[in-house]
Structure 1
Amino acid sequence: MDNHSILPTSYEIFSDFDELQPDAFANLKGGPLAPSLRGRILLYQLSDGVYIRTYIVGIPVNTTTGQKVDFHGFHIHEFGNCTVGNPADPFTAAGGHWNPTNQPHPFHAGDLPPILSTNGTAMMSVYTSAFNVRDVIGKSFILHEKADDFMTQPAGNSGLRLACGVIQSTTPSRSTGFFGRR
Structure 2
Amino acid sequence: MRSSRIALVALATLGLAACGSTPPTRPTAPPAVPLVSTARMAEANLAPASASLVSGRLALVPDAQGVHITGMIGGLQPLQVAAFHVHERGDCSAVDASSAGAHFNPTLQPHGRNNGGIHHAGDMDNLRADAQGRVNVDVRLPAVTLGGGAATDIAGRALVVHANADDYRSQPAGNAGARIACGVIRVMR
Q: Do both proteins adopt the same fold according to a TM-score greater than 0.5, normalized to the shorter chain?
A: yes
**Alignment counterpart, residue 80 of structure 2, candidates 70, 73, 88:** 70
Deviations 1:9-44 (A, max 9, x none): xxxxxxxxxxxx96111000112431x322011111
C-alpha displacement of 1:46: 1.3
Partners of 1:127 and 1:155 in 2: how far apart? 19
- 2:138 match: 125
Q: Which amino acid aligns with 2:104?
A: W
Partners of 2:56 and 2:88 in 1: how far apart? 19
- 1:50 match: 67
Q: Which amino acid aligns with 2:105?
A: N
Q: In the TM superposition, what are the counterparts of 1:36-47 in structure 2 within 5 Å?
A: 36-47=53-64
Q: Which amino acid aligns with 1:76?
A: V
- 2:102 match: 96
Deviations 1:68-123 (A, max 9, x none): x62100000000110124xxxx1111000000000001100000111111231111
Partners of 2:65 and 2:126 in 1: how far apart? 22
C-alpha displacement of 1:127: 1.6
Q: Which runs of 5+ in 2 are unaligned?
A: 1-38, 113-118, 148-152
Tell me the percent identity: 37
Partners of 2:67 and 2:50 in 1: how far apart? 31
Partners of 1:137 and 1:129 in 2: how far apart? 14
SS of residue in 2 equivalent to 1:56: strand
Partners of 2:111 and 2:160 in 1: how far apart? 16
Q: In the TM superposition, what are the counterparts of 1:17-166 in structure 2 within 5 Å?
A: 23-34=41-52, 36-61=53-78, 70-85=80-95, 90-106=96-112, 107-118=119-130, 119-134=132-147, 135-166=153-184
Aligned length: 139
SS of residue in 1 equivalent to 2:68: strand
C-alpha displacement of 1:144: 0.1
Q: Which runs of 5+ in 1 are unaligned?
A: 1-20, 62-68, 172-182
Structure with higher Rg: it is: 2
Q: Which amino acid aligns with 1:143?
A: V
Stretch moving more, 70-79 or 46-55: 46-55
Question: Over the residues paired in the alignment, what is the CA RMSD in angstroms?
Answer: 1.7
Partners of 2:63 and 2:157 in 1: how far apart? 19
Does the CA contact (< 8 Å) of 1:22 and 1:42 recur in 2? no
Partners of 1:96 and 1:163 in 2: how far apart? 15
Moved over 3 A (4+): none
What TM-score do you get using the length of structure 1 for normalisation? 0.72
